[in-house]
Amino acid sequence: MGGYMYCIYFLLIVGVKVSAEIGRPRGVSISMASKYEPNDQKIFRCLDGSGTIPYEHLNDDYCDCADGSDEPGTSACTNGKFHCTNAGYTPKNIQSSRVNDGVCDCCDGSDEYEGKIECVNNCKELGKKMREEQDEKRRLQEEGFKKREGFIAEANNMMEGKKLKIQELEKEKTELQDKLKELEAKKAEAEGPEKEAKDKHEQAWKEQKEVRDKERSAIKAREAFDELDLNKDGFVDVLEIIPHMEFDIDSNGVVSEEEAKEHLEDNEKVDFDEFSSRIWGNIQSIYKKLVPDDQKEVPPPPVEPQGETGVPVPNEEPQEDAVDEDKMPEYDEETKALIAAADEARKNHEEADKRSRDIDGEITTLTSYLNTDYGKDKEYAILRDNCYEYTDREYTYKLCPFATASQRPKAGGHETNLGRWGRWENDYKVQVYDHGQNCWNGPDRSVKVHLTCGPEHQLTNAYEPSRCEYAFDFITPCACNQPPQPQDKDPHDEL
């Protein structure tokens, strides 16, 4: 008799309950079958090594092994495992306590072999649905992977283009440095004559103004002296100062002789020459002409003109513009020409200097772009400079890859910074955005973006696992790897 038939014969002789799969005790998977093969001693060793039992005690509805391994096909051991073959679908292990409990746990019904309930074997239907779902998932993954390959090629081209752009900018900047030196020299050359002409003009005006100011001051000094010289004796004395309350030093409402004399530089009286040379310069800012009491009138309160609606009407009386005699006259035509030439030189230099600074900014931006980690194959570079949004019941969340993450209320309000681009985690499967806006009495906000494969770029979920620490779910073709090729035979089919 062949070994195969002998095995069956032996199992039948010792009374071991076998499953529909010939040669294995019920509830044992193919991968574990070798551990249940009979030996010369006709004993079974518990899988945890804790003891041995006779083979006839396998699946005898009594738990002999501590790990429950002797009862794979019954519910005797609470810690035992029953293997559902589920041919055509996915095999699985269930708790032995669920064997013959009147509930169909295995799609092939093998866990209810005592017939307490009739189980319909729907493994093939489930397997077909599973394979259809797997095929669709594989199709989407293949679609995403093809896009990812395109993104990688696009990223490489883009990187090369930016490198070339940096080289062009650096060349332009080198050439611009020589031009800047030339324009700086021209600017200095034009500004010299300009400054000389402007200084000459301004100095001449300053001298004219000083002469005019002296003349005005002399006239005012004469007027003030004549007004102060009440007795017209050709002198201004202490008694003539006392009526002027602006000379009340201690603000007690009276100008004392000492105060009057102090304003006359300790003189009892002064003539015009001494007044104009020594006194007037010190008092002209406070001096006020006396107004006779009979000429002092209290002006009535101003009444604003009313329109038909009772609203005040603005004063429409035209006022002549006062001529500012102290305003410096225009430059002569020759000086204006020098100023125009200097302005042109300054403009040319400023434009070249601005271009130089703009080049520095462009180089910095391009270098930052090139130095950013976009994944193992630069596949995520396509996401930069784009933003994606997800809205739930309360907020709209926004992700701008390699830049920022934010949140704003749907009802309107201030946008909250949840974090700025930080780093990768978990082998390019998670992006971290940190150092966001500080939480009140808490940490700075941060976001972890979990990336999964999908046919389109899409922010699909946003939540807050812990206070001020957010999580986004983002699907993208960038995360798609090449799918495994479908197999002709379902590996889950066990015979």
Domain architecture of the chain: domains with CATH:
3-121 (no CATH), 379-479 (2.70.130.10)
- pLDDT given for residue 427 in this prediction: 95
The DSSP line for 372-425 is S---TTSGGGGGTT--EEEE-SSEEEEEETTTEEEEEETT--PPEEEEEEEEEE
| 36 three-state secondary structure | helix
From the list 260, 287, 270, 275, the residue with the least C-alpha distance to 222 is 275
Q: Is residue 332 left, alpha or beta, with left meaning phi > 0 and alpha meaning psi from -120 to 50?
A: beta
175, 352 in Cβ contact below 8 A? Answer: no
Paired sense of beta strands 469-476 and 446-453, if any: parallel
Exposed e or buried b per residue across 354-387, where buried means at least 16 C-beta atoms within 10 angstroms of its C-beta: eeeeebeebeeebeebeeeebbebbbbbbbbeee
Per the structure block, which two tokens stand in for 337? Answer: 């020409």
- pLDDT given for residue 487 in this prediction: 63
End-to-end Cα, the chain, rounded Å? 23
Lowest mean pLDDT of 4-13, 355-364, 378-387, name the range.
4-13
Amino acid occupying residue 363: I
- pLDDT given for residue 304 in this prediction: 54
- pLDDT given for residue 7 in this prediction: 41
> How would you class 309 by CB atoms within 10 Å of its CB: exposed for 0-12, middle for 13-18, buried for 19 or more?
exposed
CA dihedral 200, 204, 206, 208 (to 10 degrees): 180
Overall average pLDDT of the 166-193 stretch: 95
> How would you class 471 by CB atoms within 10 Å of its CB: exposed for 0-12, middle for 13-18, buried for 19 or more?
middle
Mean of all residue pLDDT scores within the chain: 87
- pLDDT given for residue 296 in this prediction: 57
Q: From CA 105, how far away is CA 88, in angstroms rounded?
A: 16
- pLDDT given for residue 316 in this prediction: 47
Q: What percent of the chain has pLDDT over 70?
A: 87
53, 59 in Cβ contact below 8 A? Answer: no
Pick the residue with more confidence: 485 or 271?
A: 271
pLDDT digits (tens, 9 = 90+) for 310-341: 444 444 444 444 456 678 999 999 999 999 99
Amino acid occupying residue 50: S
pLDDT at 354 over 80: yes
Name the DSSP class of 1.
-
E runs forming strands in 437-477: 446-453, 458-466, 469-476
- pLDDT given for residue 357 in this prediction: 96
154, 305 in Cβ contact below 8 A? Answer: no
Q: Among all chains, which residue has been given the structure tokens 């941060």?
A: 446
Interaxial angle between packed helices 123-228 and 333-371, expressed in degrees from 0 to 180 and rounded to the nearest 10 = 160
- pLDDT given for residue 492 in this prediction: 45
114, 100 in Cβ contact below 8 A? Answer: yes
pTM greater than 0.75 (yes/no): no
Per the structure block, which two tokens stand in for 264? Answer: 């006359």
